[in-house]
Amino acid sequence: MSATAINSQLRAPSFWQSTNGKKVVMAVTGCILLLFVIGHLLGNLLVFAGRARYNAYAAFLHFDDTILWIVRIVLIIAVVLHITATVQLALRNKRARPIGYSRKEAINSSYASRTMYWSGPIVLAFVIFHLLEFTAGYIHPGSQFIRGDVYHNVAAGFSVWWVSAWYIFSLCLLGLHLRHGIWSMFQSVGYNHPRHTPLLKKAALVIAALIVLGYISIPISVLAGFVK
C-alpha cells in the first residue's frame, strides 16, 4: 500500500463529515429554530390583545423587507442543515446496523426520541401548509384571505375545524420533537453529566409543554368564540 493511500486512510474526517460535527450542527440549528418558535409564539399571542394590536405587530414585521429576507434566509439555511444532518445521521446509524434486532426494546429512549425522524417531516409539512394559508393566502378554506388583516385571516382560518385540528396535532408533534431536541442539544455540544441530565429533561418537557399550550390556545380560542 502506498504512503498516499495510508495518509488518506489516516486523515481525520472533516467537521461536517464526522458524527459529532453533524450533531453539533443539529444542536446549533435547532437552537436557532427554537428561538424563532418562541419569538413567533410571543408575537402570535398578541391576537388576544385585539385586531388593531395584532395587525400592528404584523405590520411591524414587514417594516424592512431587507431585514425580513435576511431572517428568512437564515431560517431556511437552518432548516436545510438541520434536516440534512438528521437524515444523514439516521442513514449512518442504519448502515452501522444493517440487520435489526430480533426483539427491539426501548430501554433508555423516550417516545419523543423514537419519533424524531417521522415527526420532523410531518412538522415540516405543517409549516408549509401554514405558510401557504396564513402568509401567502393560497390556501384559505372557509373565507376570503385579506392581505394586511392578519387578525381576520387567523380568526377565519381557525374557524374551520379541520384546520384547527391539523394545527393542534402538528403542534403536539412539535412538542415531542422539542422535548427530545432541547435536552439532546446540550448533550451534543458536550454538556452531559448524570447529575444534570434529569434536570435538563424536566426543563425540556416544561418548555415544550408551554410552547405547545401557547400555540394551541389560539385555535381553541377561535373555536370557542373568544377570538372572533
For the record, the C-alpha cell of 132 comes out as 401557504
Between the CA of residue 145 and those of 135, 139, 152, 227, what are the distances in Å? Answer: 10, 9, 8, 17
Of 4, 11, 27, residue with least CA distance to 200? 27
In tens, the pLDDT along 141-190 reads: 878 899 889 999 999 999 999 999 999 999 998 898 888 888 877 776 66
pLDDT recorded at residue 107: 43
pLDDT recorded at residue 18: 87
Does position 5 have pLDDT exceeding 50, yes or no? no
pLDDT recorded at residue 115: 60
- Distance between CA 141 and CA 158 in Å, rounded? 10
pLDDT recorded at residue 101: 47
With beta carbons less than 8 A apart as the criterion, state whether 90 and 117 touch.
Answer: yes
For the ranges 26-35, 51-60, 91-100, the lowest mean pLDDT is seen at: 91-100
pLDDT recorded at residue 39: 94
In tens, the pLDDT along 34-81 reads: 999 999 999 999 999 999 999 999 999 888 888 888 999 999 999 899
The 10 Å Cβ neighbour count of residue 70 is: 11
Between the CA of residue 194 and those of 18, 113, 187, 203, what are the distances in Å? Answer: 25, 18, 11, 15
Each domain of the chain, given as residue ranges in start order, spans 18-98+109-224
pLDDT recorded at residue 2: 52
pLDDT recorded at residue 12: 55
Instruction: Give the SS3 label for residue 146.
Output: coil
